[in-house]
Amino acid sequence: MPRRALLLLTALVLALHALALLGLPDLTTRLHSPEVAAFSTRSIALPPPQPAPTAPPRPRPPPKPKPKPKPAPAAPDPLPELPADALPTDATTLAAATAGDITVPIEPSLEPAEAAEPPAAPAPAASEALAAAPAPEEPASAPQESASAPADPPEPRDPGLAITLPGGASAQAGGAAPPPVRVPPPTRLAFEVSGEVKRFHYSASAEMLWKHDGTHYEARQEIRAFLIGSRAQTSVGQLTAHGLQPRRFGDRVRSEQAAHFDFDQGRITFSANTPSAPIAPGAQDRLSVFIELASLIAAAPERYPEGTEIALTTASARAAGRWVFRVGQTEPLELPAGTIAALKLQRVPEDEHDQRADLWLAPSVHYLPVRLRITQSSGDFVDLRLKETSTP
């Protein structure tokens, strides 16, 4: 049995070998045939990639409105200058004050306080005005408009200086020549000063210096108070047939303000940018006015009997106005310089709230002021009394 199986297996192997040997040429020939040897390749073009779908463009946002520029912060209002009567009311405050920090409480100014103008009402919008206005009725015959608007009325001329005698007669009627003047010689006057502000009594010293060369003049007045500071006023100008003709007036406490006179143009302007004012020969500032009064009366005292009124345009460093002085009587004065006879002049106030001023001009001192007392409506006052005179 095993031998038979072995023979069968051997025969099967031989048959397979024979089959393989007999079929080999056909296989080789077939492998080398053109059909089999020809091997070709073919490239396949891929389709182009489809572009990715793009999203529709977003709508462009509207431009942001530019922010409105913030208005520049308004400059703070300047601190109001202390009035002339701003004096400490107790000894502690007075001791703590330093020179220059407080306005000297001596204000030999006869100028009334300036009234503040009420603010103008805002104008209505044009549309509101048109809507509110009734439709005008058309006239049967419209009057013919004038070709040109009427001219503004001429500005009244400033008289500069006016002298009224007792009884109301003018001393310059009929185009009379200007009154004569006699300018006092250069002099230095020293004063003792006393006063009261809000029931506080104080003392100070003052000096008035008057100089000229016959053509030009210079006047200076300074008031000094211990621990308070000083106030100085100056006036420079020319000497003319009308007496003093100021060119510049300065008033200094912590800083200076000035008035500039232009007699050729007939105007006075102010460094404080306040409105200008008209002037004419004879106009003065609030320091030169005392020298001008002395020059007028010294030239001819008989021209100024009791009751005569002398009106002068007088300018401070901010404005100009009319000052009227009424001539009084000559009376003796007890002063630090001694007993001196002096002619009293009194300012005529326009109303009850104006300052009152009493001025004494001494013939022995060329009619220069030897005493000046100014009283406020509140009762506060300042009193300058001559202590000595000298030649500068």
Domain total of the chain = 1
3-state secondary structure of 25: helix
Of 246, 273, 281, give the one whose Cα is nearest residue 161: 281
Query: Tokens 């001329």 appear where?
Result: 157
Cβ contact 195:201 at 8 Å: yes
- Structural domain range at position 375: 161-390
Contact residues for 193 (Cβ-Cβ < 8 A; gap 6+): 106, 203, 204, 205, 206, 223, 225, 382, 383, 384, 385
Report pLDDT for 371: 98
Average pLDDT, the chain: 75
The answer to whether residue 355 sits within a structural domain is: yes
What are 168-204's pLDDT values in tens digits? 888 875 566 889 999 999 999 999 999 998 888 889 9
Q: Is residue 49 part of a domain?
A: no
Asked if the structure places residue 81 within a domain, the reply is: no
Calculate mean pLDDT across residues 158-165: 86
pLDDT tens digits, 227-276: 778 899 999 999 998 899 999 999 999 899 999 999 999 999 999 999 99
Domain membership of residue 36 (yes or no) is no
258 part of a folded domain: yes
Confidence at 158, pLDDT banded by 50, 70, 90? low
Q: What's the full length of the chain, in residues?
A: 392
Residue 117's identity, in one-letter code, is E
Residue 345 carries which side chain, given as an amino acid letter? L
Q: Is residue 46 part of a domain?
A: no
pLDDT at 356: 87
Q: How far apart are CA 36 and CA 59, in angstroms?
A: 66
pTM for the structure as a whole? 0.63
- Report the CATH number that the domain containing residue 383 is assigned in CATH: 2.50.20
Give the pLDDT confidence of 300-328 residue by residue, as tens digits: 999 999 999 999 999 999 999 999 999 99
Does 144 reside within a domain?
no
39 lies in some domain: no
The tokens for 306 are: 């009791």
